[in-house]
Amino acid sequence: MSDFPLFPEQASTVAWQVDLIYFTLVALSIFFSVAVAAAIVFFALRYRQGADVDRSHPLIEHTKLELTWSIIPFIMAMGVFGWAAMVFVDIKTPPADATEIYIIGKQWMWQAQHPSGKREINQLHIPINTPVKLIMTSQDVIHDFYIPVFRVKQDVVPGRYTTLWFQATKTGEFHLFCAEYCGTEHSAMVGTVVVMEQSEFKNWLGGGSSDEPLAVAGERLFTENGCITCHSGEPGAIGPPISNVSIFGTEVEFADGSTGTVDEAYLRESILDPQAKVVAGYAPVMPSYDGQLSEQSLLQLIEFLKTK
């Protein structure tokens, strides 16, 4: 019980924007609660039984009054809604140049994987003043990646990728919590976010032991699993070329005439359920790799295809 905080630190670019909405709502709440409480106490005492006051012409209906206290709160509500929605869109839209880090949640730990190959458990080292985008998935149940001082959280869902981005504005060590109940040791699924000066972060990323870079591991998996036999990129190959040309972020047309963007979710789907969206001009012959690749291997393959 060493200290007694009432308000969390602000350590990201969105924190003050969220807090401004918060304080506006606190002010509105106090105003309306006090107004209602004051009116109740005043009326209750003034018109108490036995008090000699004028009770003639009591109000039973008053449409103008009714509309006033419907429309004014409605306008205020819409104002707060719009404001909070705009900040939300910012929270949900990562900048294109954000540094990407992969996160895998599992009962009951967080694993972070930097593209360079550096891996950490229940810790996340990030550089200050740099937009960071997390691409997250879960190996088992739903978790939630929550950093209170950044004012951001996002569910981490098995079977799909969710993203979270932020830009830290303060160096130091901060709480990382799992915010979605995930079983026995849910409250132990916590960690530390370490925000470092950019140069320090570079040293940290280069130092210590490190796995091979994700893209290198991905390339190895691409050969070992035989992907390269159909996706060789040679003319007449069975599958579309993906290993020798940059496909990530491009629009493709599918066999049924629809189109879509090649992103993490599409690549994941095409590996696990290849028949779901087949690129136009190719036969639906690829076998599913569902159950044969770990979440981590999937991320390595995707990182390899991304960096082509």
Residues 109-148 that bind other proteins (CB under 8 A): 140-142, 144, 146, 148
Residues 8-67 that bind other proteins (CB under 8 A): 8, 14, 17-18, 21-22, 25, 28-29, 32-33, 36-37, 39-40, 43-45, 47-50, 54-62, 65-66
Question: Of the candidates 52, 64, 89, 250, which one interacts with other proteins according to CB under 8 A?
Answer: 89
How far apart are CB 85 and other proteins at their closest, in Å? 5
- Measured from the CB atom, the residue of 66 and 197 that comes closer to other proteins is 66
- Measured from the CB atom, the residue of 103 and 215 that comes closer to other proteins is 103
- Measured from the CB atom, the residue of 177 and 254 that comes closer to other proteins is 177
What dihedral angle (degrees, nearest 10) is formed by the CA atoms of 106, 109, 113, 117?
-110
Residues 264-303 that bind other proteins (CB under 8 A): none
Pairing, β 99-106 against β 131-138? parallel
- Determine contact, residues 90/165, Cβ cutoff 8 Å: no
- Measured from the CB atom, the residue of 133 and 220 that comes closer to other proteins is 133
How far apart are CB 45 and other proteins at their closest, in Å? 8
Residues 67-86 that bind other proteins (CB under 8 A): 69-70, 73-74, 77-78, 80-81, 83-85
- Measured from the CB atom, the residue of 217 and 302 that comes closer to other proteins is 302
Rounded to 5°, the CA angle 135-136-142 comes to 160
Instruction: Judge if the upstream peptide bond of residue 108 is cis by omega within 30 degrees of 0.
Output: yes
Give me the helix-helix angle, 295-306 and 214-224, nearest 10°: 100
Asked if residue 158 binds other proteins (CB under 8 A), the reply is yes
How far apart are CB 88 and other proteins at their closest, in Å? 3
Q: Classify the C-alpha dihedral 21-22-24-28 as positive or negative.
A: positive
Long-range Cβ contacts of 194-197 (<8 Å, 24+ apart) = 194/123, 194/124, 194/125, 194/126, 195/11, 195/126, 195/127, 195/128, 195/168, 195/170, 195/171, 196/125, 196/126, 196/127, 196/128, 196/171, 197/127, 197/128, 197/171
Size of the site for other proteins (CB under 8 A): 88
How far apart are CB 76 and other proteins at their closest, in Å? 9
How far apart are CB 22 and other proteins at their closest, in Å? 5
What dihedral angle (degrees, nearest 10) is formed by the CA atoms of 10, 12, 15, 17?
130
- Measured from the CB atom, the residue of 51 and 121 that comes closer to other proteins is 51
How far apart are CB 221 and other proteins at their closest, in Å? 21
* Token pair in block for residue 146: 């929550």
CA dist., res. 284 & res. 270, Å (int):
11
Residues 164-183 that bind other proteins (CB under 8 A): 175, 177-183
Residues 197-216 that bind other proteins (CB under 8 A): none
- What's CA 179's distance to the chain center, in Å? 12
